A and B are shown apart, each in its own frame.
Chain A
Amino acid sequence: MKSKKPLIPYLVWMAAFVVIPLGMVFYFAFTDGNGHLTLENFRYIGVNSQVYLDSFKVAFLSTLICLVLAYPLALIMSRMSPRAQRMMNILIMLPMWMNFILRICSLDLIFRPTGILNQLLSLLGLGGNAIYQTPTAVVIGIVYNYLPFMVLPIYTVMAKISRSLIEAGQDLGCNGFQLLKKVIFPLSLPGVISGITMVFVPAASSFVISARLGGFNLIGDTIEAYYKGEIDMHAGGMLSFVLMLVIVISIAVMNHFDKDDDIVLV
């Protein structure tokens, strides 16, 4: 039997930073201030239902935009010379080398009424922009931040599609569009799924971006508020629990698509 000793540090890590925190989330979600079991906390969901809705709307829209932008890019990249592919990879990663908060604050400055975007628009005689402190700004922020997480998994899967499969498709009569629809897209689906997961999950639970660029709270901000300001561990726990549940369900649904070959997502 193989020794399990090398696993111990990881198990300790998981226990300390995954299992125990999760347990605490569950505990606080289903208890009241006196430590008694209760379903009372479910009322926080009702109170915050609009925030949930907004969060998922923003997350869904951002993911969709990311996918639409990323897919053609990944396709083009996967057909470039190896040298150009490496270059593109670096270019896509480059923004991520800068601090997240810094990037959001920069966008904030750009979108401000006194910001560069407005100045440019005024020069063109298009008047002030209506983006600042709107959901649109939030979506732009999220897309900007998470686009690489959509491009890279799709590109990685596409780059691995064997040249001979493309040739087989052409050989069997596919024109360019049929090739994309019948061969390339189905084969790139695992990349699409992991891209969607990697964008949707953080987008749904994102915070800072919404507060900073949109001036309103998404569920991430609301949960943060429950733990920071007027501390209510029970409300925060319940909201986190439900958010987690929705995300787990969406991932499960996505993975189901992955196994089912005939279903086309877009």
Chain B
Amino acid sequence: MEKKRSGSDVLIRLENLCKSFDNEAILKSVNLYIRDKEFVTLLGPSGCGKTTILRCIAGFEEPDSGDVTFEGKSILDTPTHKRPINTVFQKYALFPHLNVFDNVAFGLRIKKVPEAEIRPKVMKMLAMVDLKGYEKRPIAKLSGGQQQRVAIARALVNMPRLLLLDEPLGALDLKLRKDMQLELKQLHRQSGITFLYVTHDQEEALTMSDTIVVMKSGTIQQIGSPQDIYNEPANAFVADFIGESNIFDAQMKEDRKVLLCGAEFDCVDPMPAPFVDAVIRPEDVIVTKPEEGTVIGHVEASLFKGVHYEMTVSCGGETWIIHSTVSAAVGENIGMRVDPENIHIMKKMFPDTVNRIEATVTAEKNEQGLVEVSFDEKSFLLPLESEYAEEDKISFAVSPEDVELCDGDDADFEGVLDSVVWKGSYYEMILLSGSRRWLIKSQMDEQAGSEVFFRLREGALRLVKGDAK
């Protein structure tokens, strides 16, 4: 992945970090560096490995391979309690047998800081997190938000070089979360400590971070500033995960020209491949009179959202989401135009437009004229014209529409959804099954990370031309 940041004052660096649990790879060779005083957020859906990275840095987990260096020196052999790092835990992990003061003072007391120095430090920190006067309170008598502040104070008072925050605001209600986001950002500025923040909330990441690291199933998808990530997503997954977006299948024949929804749009990107994904943010679609638009759309629905109208518009078989201050009535035809710099072209996550499969003949043609072929430990009987001998290899193509999700009883295969992206009229899914990745188009709304069963429709296995004998 590209790294636009300069790495002169690197505090911590992850090199080819790999970790698996029960033979399931959680981190797949992660490379990342964090600069001193930076606010870096690891963002991704649950199970993407972001918390595991934190735990490897804190020393709670040992990576299977790779290295964690702190100011250039490996810290893998340094036990947790000797690392200059503190953690704010997801569920706070405050000591229930100690009151607020003693919780915050815990780290300093372990370090044998004189009691006379501890008191002012703790009091200052409690004032900083707005908990003056709460010193003697037992932990159980605090609200969630207050416990959260104690947890932050308890970690920050040690003035670590790096503060790890594991979804620290996850358990708080929306209003409190917004307040705490601002406070954390302020604490970061005041303390001059490097923050590594883990969240699955994209808005939180965009609001707080200097740098966002977007992750999916153990790999880094993109590293960049919030603006970069939002405006120049690296692929459809990032575009879909960050903010609302229209992601379309598009074609390019030359640089700076893209064909989508049956019309040619000008854009500013060069052509990475003939088939690409194009992202258009809902607020970047300009509503015009029908005759002035690049394409004409039919307004299906319109919702007033306060600042803008959210309109669902159908156009060339695709559905567009538009945020516009200009309203159009349902049923009306409108023109739509997009400024070239607001169309973002991305390489497709799946390198091909079809699934390519090489199968082995396991039984020659029978009386009904069916040949048995198998791949991935599953056999199919196919009406093939030519004669084949056992062990012959045949190449097939399976189009994404011909793979369907189904119940376990009717399934040919099972797998895990690696990514699910709405493409205007269908969900584009990438599915991991054994060592194979499948591209699927589906109308079903499934979560990435869920385990699914799927089968091939009748006639899905199509001979690739030139392979037929």
A172 contact from B90, B91, B154, Cβ within 8 A = B154
B106 contact from A167, A172, A175, A261, Cβ within 8 A = A172
Residues of chain B lying within 8 A (CB to CB) of residue A186: 95, 97-98
Considering only CB atoms, which chain A residue lies closest to B94 in the complex?
A168
Residues of chain A lying within 8 A (CB to CB) of residue B91: 162, 164
Verify A172–B86 contact, CB threshold 8 A: yes
A177–chain B nearest beta-carbon distance, Å: 11
Residues of chain B lying within 8 A (CB to CB) of residue A261: 97-98
* Residue B293 is within 8 A (CB to CB) of chain A in the complex: no
- A189–B98 Cα distance when bound, in Å, is 13
Verify B60–A167 contact, CB threshold 8 A: yes
- A229–B97 Cα distance when bound, in Å, is 51
Chain A contact surface mostly: helix
Considering only CB atoms, which chain B residue lies closest to A183 in the complex?
B95
Size range of the chain B interface in the assembly: 20 to 34
A238–chain B nearest beta-carbon distance, Å: 41
A192–chain B nearest beta-carbon distance, Å: 13
Interface residues of B in 92-125 (CB under 8 A from A): 93-98, 106-107, 110-111
* Residue B141 is within 8 A (CB to CB) of chain A in the complex: no
Considering only CB atoms, which chain A residue lies closest to B97 in the complex?
A186
* Residue A255 is within 8 A (CB to CB) of chain B in the complex: no
- A166–B264 Cα distance when bound, in Å, is 60
Verify A187–B93 contact, CB threshold 8 A: no
* Residue B81 is within 8 A (CB to CB) of chain A in the complex: yes
Considering only CB atoms, which chain A residue lies closest to B89 in the complex?
A164
Verify B111–A173 contact, CB threshold 8 A: yes
* Residue B80 is within 8 A (CB to CB) of chain A in the complex: yes
* Residue B209 is within 8 A (CB to CB) of chain A in the complex: no
- A108–B87 Cα distance when bound, in Å, is 57
Q: Kindly name the residue among A168, A178, A182, A186 whose own CB sees the greatest number of chain B CB atoms within 10 A.
A: A168
* Residue B58 is within 8 A (CB to CB) of chain A in the complex: yes
A187 contact from B85, B96, B110, Cβ within 8 A = B96
Q: Other than the known A171-B58, A173-B107, A186-B98, what 19 A-B pairs have Cβ atoms closer than 8 Å?
A: A164-B89, A164-B90, A164-B91, A171-B80, A171-B85, A171-B86, A171-B87, A171-B155, A172-B81, A172-B86, A172-B106, A172-B158, A173-B82, A173-B110, A174-B110, A182-B106, A186-B97, A261-B97, A261-B98
7 pairs, CB–CB < 8 Å, chain A vs chain B: A164-B91, A165-B93, A171-B85, A172-B81, A172-B110, A183-B95, A187-B97
